[in-house]
Structure 1
Amino acid sequence: MSTGLAVVVLGAAGGIGRHVVTEALRAGHRVTATARHPDRLPNPDLPAEQTARLTVTRADVRDTASLETAMAGHDVVVSAVGPPGRHARGLYSDGARATVAAMDRCGVDRFLGVTSAGVRYDDPELAPWYRLLVRPLLRELYADMIAMEDLITASDLDWTLVRPVLLLDRDPTDLYRVADAATPPRGRSVTRADVARFIVAELHERRWTRRHPTIA
């Protein structure tokens, strides 16, 4: 079995974040799960020897000091932060600034973050109805995601930016497909659990360093 890493999960109470926590524990990693409201984090349905490697802590992705506290002594940061609705209000870009600063101060240089396939407006696999009807409604959200990506890619971090298509709350399939900076052909949806499995696999595989894997 591979040697476990010390992993910080930002946004661990969210749909993808909670799956990342569970899959990382199953894979043998030590996990620090962070959220603004740690009491909202679900308890992973895992054996005691796995949950013993879990630490839950409060951190605000916009607050560099709280992020430093959470990140100290870790190997990698996974960011699965996201707003509850369709307005980002600077969450992605503000969070990226604070995250990069905290990682620099803590000496952590590996970052895996989640944005969306929708950030690439010219993606030929983006359905016309989505481009014309849905994307305008999410213009502010996608603009903030793009700002986050720009901040991360301009940094010195060892980064991977995961771009899922339409997210579903279903069981993992392990049938997902991945392409670099483009949606796989006819890729319309993916489960949050599959996105988490891809992220946790990438912790050791490191196949997508400084790339934009789009998953469907």
Structure 2
Amino acid sequence: MTQKILILGATSGIGKLAMHEAASRGISVRAFARSADDLTATDLIEPFKGDALEADDIARALDGVDAVIYALGITESVSMLWKEVTLFSKSTEVLLTQMAQIGPKRLVVVTGFGAGRSKDAMSFLERTGHRAILGKPYADKDRQEAMIMDSDLDWTIVRPVILTNNAKTTKYRVLDNAASWRNGLISRADVAHYLIDAVADDKAVRTDVVLAR
């Protein structure tokens, strides 16, 4: 039974929503972020300031948790068109090494539609436009996914399609068959809902899925 989750990237976006989703279900969260001081501690939320690229920070954060949700993101900017992105692969390398030594075994990671083998589900026009704009970060997500799939952990890779800020509906589709993968829209709140479901109920272990409305 999952009693405490470590969420990496818990101060913004999907990570923050996942933190609140877990707490709403009575699941404790260790909320890891460089800006964790901005969070308010509660009985179920433990702010944990740290750098995901620092092995010592990750090691301390893993102590006593039952599962990890990786929801780190980067700030979008024009420089992404030419500047190499390495955060996803380098932080994942640190995380996988520490989880192999310390535990836990359960890891749920948010990447995105178009990463890894899901890019083959895009049309030529979708793929061309996507890689022209997001080529650098998604090249790093490709590296990240390969590392995760090669690990011995009980991983799940979650690829949401185009994200919106709409309210949670829970009426989304979990596409676990590559033949059914497609683009579309989904709210960040629904992605967060699925992340906690995946951890709490051990869904899609050692599987990569696409989330769409």
Report the equivalent of 1:121: 119
Quote the offset at 1:26 in angstroms: 1.1
Quote the offset at 1:202 in angstroms: 1.3
CA distance in structure 2 between the aligned counterparts of 1:15 and 1:71, rounded to whole angstroms = 22
Correspondent of 1:200 among 189, 196, 199: 196
CA distance in structure 2 between the aligned counterparts of 1:115 and 1:141, rounded to whole angstroms = 10
Report the equivalent of 2:54: 63
Gaps of 5+ in 1: 45-50
Q: Is the 8 A contact 2:175 2:181 kept in 1?
A: no
Matches within 5 A, 1:61-100: 61-85=52-76, 87=80, 89-100=85-96
Q: TM-score, normalised by structure 1?
A: 0.88
Cα-to-partner distance string for 1:61-120 (whole Å, 9 max, x where unaligned): 111110111110111010000111164720100011010112122221110000011112
Quote the offset at 1:187 in angstroms: 4.4
CA distance in structure 1 between the aligned counterparts of 2:71 and 2:49, rounded to whole angstroms = 15
Report the equivalent of 1:48: none
Quote the offset at 1:182 in angstroms: 3.6
CA distance in structure 2 between the aligned counterparts of 1:185 and 1:155, rounded to whole angstroms = 24
Q: SS of the residue aligned with 1:73?
A: coil
User: Deviating runs (4+, > 3 A) in structure 1?
Assistant: 181-187
CA distance in structure 2 between the aligned counterparts of 1:183 and 1:215, rounded to whole angstroms = 14
Report the equivalent of 2:3: 5
Amino acid at match of 2:137: L
Q: TM-score, normalised by structure 2?
A: 0.89
Q: Is the 8 A contact 2:161 2:211 kept in 1?
A: yes
1:167 aligns with 2:167: no
Matches within 5 A, 1:10-159: 10-41=8-39, 43=40, 51-85=42-76, 87=80, 89-119=85-115, 120-123=118-121, 126-159=122-155
Q: Is the 8 A contact 2:106 2:199 kept in 1?
A: no
CA distance in structure 2 between the aligned counterparts of 1:65 and 1:158, rounded to whole angstroms = 22
Quote the offset at 1:132 in angstroms: 2.4
Report the equivalent of 1:211: 207
Q: Is the 8 A contact 1:34 1:56 kept in 2?
A: yes
Q: SS of the residue aligned with 1:28?
A: coil
Amino acid at match of 2:15: G
CA distance in structure 1 between the aligned counterparts of 2:110 and 2:91, rounded to whole angstroms = 12
Q: Cα RMSD between the aligned structures?
A: 2.0
Q: Is the 8 A contact 2:181 2:210 kept in 1?
A: no
Quote the offset at 1:160 in angstroms: 0.4
Q: SS of the residue aligned with 1:65?
A: helix
Q: Is the 8 A contact 2:5 2:65 kept in 1?
A: yes
Gaps of 5+ in 2: none
CA distance in structure 2 between the aligned counterparts of 1:108 and 1:24, rounded to whole angstroms = 18
